[in-house]
């Protein structure tokens, strides 16, 4: 079992490894009630193991997919918790992927003005990214994650054994966030060689080998915990690096009304786009840009957008990104590390979009 401490105030641990669910009993000690929020398929596999560690646990289900990530879901869940009698000193457990983590985490943030949350991520994407750092939120028809709050969990329990139950496409989509962390580490010249680890162990990672997954999740969480500790609520701009590749990714998801492309698949496309945009602006060389595509490919992802997307629509959606200031804003690698780039020239945007299959 490996542990990473996220050094915010108060700090908390991310517990990583096979069999990590056994740690939950200690976390639940002294809690009068434990509300386990999950989805039907996830609960079928893992809810019993979570509830074993709690004296008084109840299961609350939300619907699958981004369609359930709404304010109406939060209202329904909060009312069910109130009817059950959940109080401020009790705990909410988010058992599932990013949607569950976002909905349960946001509900925990606003119910009784804040109750404790334990994140128990069961997807690769959630284990290395979404469950760590306290970002919670839901979608509006106008875009993803437009209503939310920062609410740090009291712990994250990332049991890599739970990844065995993931459908292949969903697991592979999580590798898009793995590619993001590998590229951030490489482009930031972080010690440890996360990009090299990913490339050297790509077959074992794609095959879900527990030892490879434990080291991978641990290393990705280490990187994220360091960034989060330096910018817990995205006030200084440091944390914006964690959105590398996400500006186009979120636009791709929104353009398909969240159904055509899984998040990690969209991130893979966004990473290739970001690398090509940085190269078109002269911030990195062509070989570094091409490494984006190589890492994405090594992890079994394509890095190309679905056919038939309209470039002008994607550009408009990107202007709605949360970090934008009324125009187009990107976080891109350059000679001095990652930097904010506002309103790049149209020719550079066109070239980068064409590199991922989006024509003007």
| 24 and 48 within one domain | yes
Note whether residue 335 is domain-resident: yes
| 189 and 126 within one domain | no
> What per-residue confidence (pLDDT) applies to 355?
96
> What per-residue confidence (pLDDT) applies to 259?
60
| 116 and 220 within one domain | no
Reported confidence tier of residue 106, pLDDT bands at 50, 70, 90: very high
b (16+ CB within 10 A) / e for 281-302: bebbeeebbebbbebbebbbbe
Note whether residue 217 is domain-resident: yes
Note whether residue 51 is domain-resident: yes
Could you give the C-alpha distances from 57 to 6, 36, 95, 214, in angstroms and in order? 27, 7, 13, 28
In this predicted structure, the answer to whether residue 54 has a pLDDT above a threshold of 50 is yes
| 90 and 65 within one domain | yes
Question: Quick one: 81 exposed, middle or buried, by C-beta within 10 A (0-12, 13-18, 19+)?
Answer: buried
Reported confidence tier of residue 237, pLDDT bands at 50, 70, 90: confident
| 224 and 97 within one domain | no
Output the six-digit token pair for 247: 């500006």
Report the Cα–Cα distance between both ends of the chain, in Å, rounded: 49
| 231 and 120 within one domain | no
| 158 and 27 within one domain | yes
> What per-residue confidence (pLDDT) applies to 318?
92
Q: List pLDDT tens digits, range 130-168.
A: 999 999 999 998 777 889 999 999 999 999 999 999 999
Per mean pLDDT, which range of 64-73, 153-162, 172-181, 321-330 is the poorest?
A: 321-330
| 113 and 193 within one domain | no
Mean pLDDT of the 62-90 span: 95
In this predicted structure, the answer to whether residue 258 has a pLDDT above a threshold of 50 is no
Q: How far apart are CA 353 and CA 159, in angstroms?
A: 37
DSSP string, 1-56: -EEEEE-SSS-EEEEEETTGGGGHHHHHTT-S-EEEEE-HHHHHHHHHHHHHT-SS
Question: Quick one: 350 exposed, middle or buried, by C-beta within 10 A (0-12, 13-18, 19+)?
Answer: middle
Q: Judge contact between 98 and 68, C-beta under 8 A.
A: no
Note whether residue 52 is domain-resident: yes
Quote the domain boundaries for residue 77: 2-165
Per mean pLDDT, which range of 89-98, 168-177, 189-198, 271-280 is the poorest?
A: 189-198
Residue 143, domain CATH: 3.40.50.1970
Note whether residue 224 is domain-resident: yes
Q: How far apart are CA 151 and CA 133, in angstroms?
A: 8
- Among 121, 149, 165, identify where a domain stops: 165
Q: How far apart are CA 123 and CA 262, in angstroms?
A: 13
When comparing pLDDT for 335 and 82, which is higher?
Answer: 82
Could you give the number of structural domains in the chain? 2
Contacts of 48 (CB under 8 A, 6+ apart): none
- Among 146, 165, 184, identify where a domain stops: 165
Could you give the C-alpha distances from 358 to 258, 270, 279, 306, in angstroms and in order? 18, 12, 17, 8
| 81 and 125 within one domain | yes
b (16+ CB within 10 A) / e for 195-232: bebbbebbeebbebeeebbbbbbbbbbbbbbebbbebb
Q: List pLDDT tens digits, range 2-48.
A: 999 999 999 999 999 999 999 999 999 989 999 999 999 999 999 99
Mean pLDDT of the 355-359 span: 92
| 214 and 313 within one domain | yes
| 297 and 257 within one domain | yes
| 147 and 81 within one domain | yes
- Among 165, 188, 219, identify where a domain stops: 165
Note whether residue 38 is domain-resident: yes
> Which residues, listed in sequence order, are joined to residue 3 by a DSSP beta bridge?
15
Q: How far apart are CA 181 and CA 335, in angstroms?
A: 18
Note whether residue 360 is domain-resident: no
What value does the mean pLDDT of the chain take? 93
> What per-residue confidence (pLDDT) applies to 217?
97
Q: List pLDDT tens digits, range 291-327.
A: 999 999 999 998 999 888 889 999 999 987 766 666 8
Residue 225, domain CATH: 1.20.1090.10
Note whether residue 43 is domain-resident: yes
Beta strands in the chain (DSSP E): 2-6, 12-17, 34-38, 57-61, 91-96, 116-121, 135-140, 143-150, 155-159, 329-334, 337-342
| DSSP at 322 | T
């Amino acid at each position: 079992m490996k542990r990473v401490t996220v050094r915010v105030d108060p700090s908390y641990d991310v517990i990583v490894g096979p069999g990590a669910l056994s740690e939950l009993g200690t976390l639940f000690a002294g809690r009068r009630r434990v509300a386990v929020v999950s989805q039907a398929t996830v609960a079928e596999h893992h809810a019993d193991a979570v509830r074993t560690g709690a004296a008084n646990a109840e299961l609350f289900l939300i619907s699958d997919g981004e369609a359930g990530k709404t304010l109406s879901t939060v209202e329904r869940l909060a009312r069910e918790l109130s009817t059950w009698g959940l109080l401020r000193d009790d705990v909410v457990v988010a058992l599932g992927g990013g949607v569950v983590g976002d909905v349960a985490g946001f509900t925990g943030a606003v119910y009784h003005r804040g109750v404790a949350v334990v994140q128990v991520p069961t997807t690769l994407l959630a284990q290395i990214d979404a469950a760590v750092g306290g970002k919670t939120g839901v979608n509006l028809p106008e875009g993803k994650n437009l209503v939310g709050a920062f609410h740090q969990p009291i712990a994250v329990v990332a049991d890599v054994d739970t990844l065995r139950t993931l459908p292949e496409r969903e697991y592979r989509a999580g590798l898009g966030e793995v590619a993001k962390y590998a590229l951030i580490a490489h482009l930031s010249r972080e010690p440890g060689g996360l990009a090299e680890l990913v490339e050297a162990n790509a077959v074992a990672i794609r095959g879900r080998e527990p030892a490879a997954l434990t080291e991978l999740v641990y290393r990705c969480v280490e990187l994220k915990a360091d960034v989060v500790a330096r910018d817990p609520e995205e006030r200084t701009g440091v944390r914006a690096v964690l959105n590398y590749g996400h500006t186009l990714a979120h636009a791709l998801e929104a353009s398909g009304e969240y159904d055509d492309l899984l998040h990690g698949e969209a991130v893979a496309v966004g990473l290739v786009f970001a690398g090509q945009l940085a190269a078109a602006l002269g911030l990195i060389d062509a070989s570094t840009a091409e490494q984006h595509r190589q890492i994405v490919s090594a992890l079994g992802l394509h890095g190309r957008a679905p056919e038939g997307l309209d470039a002008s629509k994607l550009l408009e959606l990107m202007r709605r990104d949360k970090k934008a200031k009324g125009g187009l804003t990107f976080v891109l690698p350059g000679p001095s590390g990652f930097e904010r780039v506002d309103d790049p020239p149209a020719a550079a945007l066109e070239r980068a979009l064409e590199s991922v299959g989006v024509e003007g």
